[in-house]
Amino acid sequence: EVQLVESGGGLVKPGASLRLSCAASGFTVNDAWMSWVRQVPGKGLEWVGLLRRRASGGTPEYAASVKGRFTISRDVSQNTLYLQMSSLKTEDTGVYYCATDRGWLTFDCWGQGTPVTVSS
Amino acid sequence: QSALTQPPSASGSPGQSVTISCTGTSSDIGGYKYVSWYQQHPGKAPKLMIYEVSERPSGVPDRISGSKSGNTASLTVSGLQAEDEADYYCSSYAGSNFVLFGGGTKLTVL
């Protein structure tokens, strides 16, 4: 069974950094396209970025709102996807989900999410 | 790029059908067949209900259906049940490794 478990969220001040983790089971993160998606409280969903599977180059793509500040990576030995967030802004507040991508940014398995609050 | 446009709310009585619309542009919904719909219950993660406009993942009942015409996609829930009460989000591939979501529609079963 495919399962994703996020962790690492918390309360940080503007300008701070935070690293989120997404532990995967039931598949190998190296073999899957994966994304981070966030949800602003009481609002909709926003795609944050993706990491291609190794066979497709293993490179990331990012939404314009986070490009240059966020970095997606993976650790195959831990079977874990990461989201390194820096220069955090108040508008980065939300619940962050990792998800597997069945193709064309269609997300078929989601974690339970980890909340991030950026506030002074 | 702006989010896709969904009505904030929709409702129906048990057993009835309800359709939720999702409007985009020729650069997203109108340009690709990669429209998806997600169901989200309070405090839970989104769940994929429809992909590629009208395809259902394994386990999603056939009373859930999707369609598209031009720049507008639609989700229809037939034979409404109490468990269908949730938020529904549409999404569309928008080219260049980018996806847009709708603002969400709260479906209430009366």
The whole-number pLDDT of residue B88 equals 98
Mutate to test the interface with A, among B38, B47, B99 (most CBs of A within 10 A): B99
Q: What is the pLDDT of residues B30-51, one digit of tens each?
A: 999 999 999 999 999 999 999 9
Q: Give chain A's radius of gyration (CA, Å).
A: 13
Q: Mean pLDDT across the stretch A6-23? A: 98
DSSP line for A66-115 = TTTTEEEEEETTTTEEEEEE-S--GGG-EEEEEEEESSSS-EEEE---EE
Give chain A's count of helices (H) and strands (E): 0, 11
The whole-number pLDDT of residue B97 equals 87
**What whole-number distance in Å separates Cα of residue B85 and Cα of residue B42?**
10
For A101, the closest chain B residue by CA position comes to: B48
Q: Among partner residues A61, A102, A110, which is closest to B46 by beta-carbon distance?
A: A110
Tokens of A17: 């950094």
Residue A32 confidence (pLDDT) above 80: yes
For A113, the closest chain B residue by CA position comes to: B45
Q: Mean pLDDT across the stretch A56-83? A: 96
Burial of B94 (0-12, 13-18, 19+ CB in 10 A): buried
- Is the pLDDT higher at A34 or at A103? A34
Helix (H) or strand (E) holding A35: strand A33-39
Catalogue the long-range contacts made by A24-32 (C-beta closer than 8 Å, 24 or more residues apart): A24/A79, A24/A80, A24/A81, A25/A1, A25/A79, A26/A1, A26/A2, A27/A2, A27/A100, A28/A76, A28/A79, A29/A74, A29/A76, A29/A79, A29/A80, A29/A81, A30/A54, A30/A58, A30/A74, A30/A76, A31/A55, A32/A100, A32/A101
Give the model's confidence band at A42: pLDDT under 50 very low, under 70 low, under 90 confident, else very high.
confident
**What whole-number distance in Å separates Cα of residue B100 and Cα of residue B94?**
7
B98 and A107 in contact by Cβ < 8 A?
Answer: no
The whole-number pLDDT of residue A41 equals 82
- Is A89 an interface residue toward B (CB < 8 Å)? no
Q: Are A100 and A108 in contact (CB under 8 A)?
A: yes
- Is A45 an interface residue toward B (CB < 8 Å)? yes
Q: What is the mean pLDDT of chain A?
A: 96
Give the model's confidence band at A70: pLDDT under 50 very low, under 70 low, under 90 confident, else very high.
very high
Helix (H) or strand (E) holding B108: strand B105-109
Q: Among partner residues B44, B48, B102, which is closest to A108 by beta-carbon distance?
A: B48
Q: What is the pLDDT of residues B47-90, one digit of tens each?
A: 999 999 999 999 999 999 999 999 999 999 999 999 999 999 99
Q: Interface of chain B against chain A, CB under 8 Å? A: 3, 32, 34, 36, 38, 44-48, 51-52, 57, 89, 91, 93, 97-104
- Collect all residues of chain B within an 8 Å Cβ-Cβ radius of residue A102: 51
